[in-house]
Each structure stands twice: as structure tokens, then as C-alpha cells.
């Protein structure tokens, strides 16, 4: 029986990323203590910027053994790594470089390659680095996700074939705007993670947040983010008050950090 989603609301994006950074550090400490490595998949988009800035602040950064953290990506735009729209490029500048993460711990999607080739080679890489004998899917310690105001997450956009992919781990996909050509991990990968953490901020996402989190019954809703339902792990939604403003059953409130 899947665990119920855990909802936390925060006054603003800064409080939210502080809590997210704290959770990441605690999950990392635990994974490293138990398995000597921490496998985390980063999200794309703009929300991670503030998280990266928080993770590199001295008070947070000194709490984790970054040499044992392996960074992956949930999605990538089909652009070269130095392009301003590259998810890797943002992480490289704001997270990996400041923390001196060795290249051998950074596992990027090659957005400069043809999409099908990039998807196949990233799946091959994931199979090599994350597969366990017991599971046919990778088990990330943490998958970070954002959500667009159309309900997309990673690069799983409403109504596109990537959303219904059930066997491949990584596929090419297509966005309605911005850099259209993308590579994304699939729902099977996301849903087998130990912890999935959505970071969602802003009024523009409040309607979709409400429809997903207060959805009752079996009628389908057209948002890929609603299909994130972990098989065995935890699902957390961190919302700022603006993103939570249309929820009716859980009034926005500030939460203290719980034991991860
Ligand atoms: O395009 C993307 O957007 C979503 C949401 O991003 P945000 O800018 O609203 O934070 C993100 O989850 C995804 O990885 C990214 O490629």
C-alpha cells in the first residue's frame, strides 16, 4: 500500500529551499552511513537555483560528505552543456563548481547529442551505476522534482508519449514551449525512488496543485505530476504559501522539519 503524500507548506521560497536543503543533507547522511553513497536526481527549471545557493552556503555544505554524493538529472533540454537553458549548466555553475564535486560523481544527460542517442546512453549509464539485483528499476535515494503550471514534471508533458512509457528508463520528449526537445527519465524511474520531493512555488501553480492534492476518486486528471506515486518510497510536496493558496482541506501553515 503506497504511503500517503506528505505535504509541507512554507511562507516563501527561501524557507522552502532551506527545509529542502536540510532534508537532502539528512537523507544524504543516512544513505552514506548505510551504503557509503547517496544517489540523487536533480530537477531542471528555475526552482533549483535557490536550492543550489542554499546547499553551497557554508552552514549547510559542511554537513555532508559531498565526495560520496552522486548527482544525476531527471531531465535535460537538448542543448549543449554551456547553453543558458541547460539543466546541467545551471547545476555546474551553482552547485558542482562551488562544492568542488569531482566530474566522476556528476552524471549528466548529453543534451548536445541526438535525443534518441542521448536517451539510450543515459539509460545505459543509469543501468550501470544504479541497478540492483533485486529491482528492475533504479532506486534513487532522492529524486527532486519541480512542476510546471501545466502539470508537467521532469520533462513529462501532458498528453505526450513519454508519460505512458512503461519499460524504458529514459526517453526523448517534447515540450510545448522553450527548448522543445528534451530527454527525461520516465515515471517508472521516478516511482521507484526511496524519496521523491516536489518543490513547487508560485501562484501560477496553485490550481494544478489543488487539483492534484485534493483529487478524490478514480477519474483521471491530465497532469503527469499526478502520476508520481511511489511504489515503496515516500512522496513529499514542499509548497510555498502561494502554491498552496487554493488548497481547501489543508490550510497553509509553516511546518517544522521532521525526522527524515
Ligand atoms: O521545464 C522544466 O520545468 C519544470 C518546472 O520548473 P520550474 O522552472 O517551474 O521550477 C522542471 O521540473 C523541469 O525539470 C524542467 O525541465
In this structure, what DSSP letter does residue 134 have? T
- Alpha-carbon torsion (125, 68, 88, 241), positive or negative: positive
Kindly state the DSSP code that residue 93 receives in the 8-state scheme. Answer: I
> Mean pLDDT of all residues in the chain?
93
Measured in Å, residue 246 CA sits from the centre of ligand 1 at 21
Ligand 1 neighbours, Cβ below 6 Å, are: 43-47, 74-75, 145-148, 153-155
> Is the distance from CB of 175 to CB of 182 less than 8 angstroms?
yes
pLDDT tens across 201-222, in order? Answer: 999 999 999 999 998 877 778 8
What pLDDT score was predicted for residue 85?
Answer: 95
Question: Is 145 a residue whose pLDDT tops 80?
Answer: yes
Domains and CATH numbers, the chain: 6-138+151-196+221-244 (3.40.50.1360)
In the chain, what is the straight-line distance between the N-terminal and C-terminal CA atoms, in Å?
20
Q: What pLDDT, on the 0 to 100 scale, is given for residue 251?
A: 52
Q: What is the mean pLDDT of residues 6-26?
A: 97
Ligand 1: residue whose CA is nearest its atom 2: 45
- Return the pLDDT at 252: 47
How far from 143 is each of 154, 180, 196, 214, 257, CA to CA, in Å? 10, 23, 5, 23, 19
Least confident of 27-31, 44-48, 185-189, 239-243: 44-48
133 CA → ligand 1 middle, Å: 32
At residue 254, the pLDDT reads: 46
* Averaged pLDDT, 105-130: 96
For residue 176, pLDDT over 80 is answered with yes
> Which pLDDT value is given to residue 126?
96
The owner of cell 545551471 is 90
Q: Name the band, by pLDDT with cuts 50, 70 and 90, for residue 4.
A: confident
User: For the packed helices 48-55 and 13-35, what is the interaxial angle rounded to 10 degrees?
Assistant: 60
Q: Are 87 and 67 in contact (CB under 8 A)?
A: no
Distance 44 CA to ligand 1 centre (A): 5
Q: What is the pLDDT of residue 257?
A: 47
Q: What share of the chain is helix, strand, coil (3-state, %, to 5)?
A: 40, 20, 45
CA distances for 9 relative to 73, 113, 131, 216, angstroms: 25, 39, 34, 21
Q: What ipTM, to 2 d.p.?
A: 0.91
Query: SS3 for 240?
Result: strand
Residue nearest to atom 12 of ligand 1 (CA): 146
CA of 26 to the centre of ligand 1 (A): 24
**Side-chain-side CA neighbours of residue 35 (13 Å):** 14
pTM: 0.94
Tell me the three cell numbers of residue 120.
Answer: 539510450
Is residue 253 over pLDDT 60? no
Ligand 1 atom having least distance to the Cα of 154: 14
Amino acid at each position: 500500500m503506497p504511503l500517503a503524500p506528505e505535504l509541507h507548506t512554507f511562507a516563501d521560497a527561501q524557507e522552502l529551499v532551506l527545509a529542502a536543503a536540510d532534508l537532502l543533507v539528512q537523507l544524504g547522511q543516512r544513505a552514506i552511513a548505510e551504503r557509503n553513497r547517496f544517489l540523487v536526481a536533480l530537477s531542471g527549471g528555475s526552482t533549483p537555483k535557490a536550492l543550489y545557493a542554499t546547499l553551497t552556503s557554508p552552514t549547510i555544505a559542511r554537513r555532508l560528505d559531498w565526495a560520496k554524493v552522486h548527482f544525476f538529472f531527471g531531465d535535460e533540454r537538448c542543448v549543449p552543456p554551456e547553453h543558458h537553458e541547460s539543466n546541467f549548466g545551471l547545476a555546474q555553475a551553482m552547485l558542482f563548481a562551488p562544492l568542488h564535486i569531482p566530474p566522476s560523481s556528476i552524471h549528466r544527460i548529453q543534451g548536445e547529442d541526438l535525443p534518441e542517442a542521448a536517451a539510450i546512453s543515459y539509460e545505459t549509464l543509469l543501468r550501470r551505476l544504479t541497478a540492483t539485483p533485486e529491482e528492475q528499476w533504479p532506486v534513487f535515494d532522492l529524486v527532486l522534482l519541480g512542476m510546471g503550471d501545466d502539470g508537467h514534471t521532469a520533462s513529462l508533458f501532458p498528453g505526450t508519449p513519454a508519460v505512458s512509457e512503461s519499460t524504458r528508463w529514459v526517453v526523448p520528449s517534447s515540450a510545448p514551449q522553450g527548448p522543445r526537445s528534451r530527454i527525461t527519465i520516465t515515471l517508472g524511474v521516478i516511482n521507484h525512488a526511496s524519496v521523491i520531493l516536489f518543490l513547487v512555488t508560485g501562484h501560477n501553480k496553485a490550481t494544478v496543485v489543488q487539483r492534484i492534492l485534493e483529487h478524490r476518486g478514480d477519474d483521471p486528471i491530465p497532469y503527469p505530476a499526478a502520476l508520481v506515486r511511489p511504489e515503496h518510497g515516500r512522496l513529499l510536496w514542499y509548497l510555498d504559501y502561494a502554491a498552496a493558496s487554493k488548497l481547501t482541506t489543508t490550510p497553509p501553515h509553516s511546518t517544522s522539519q521532521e525526522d527524515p
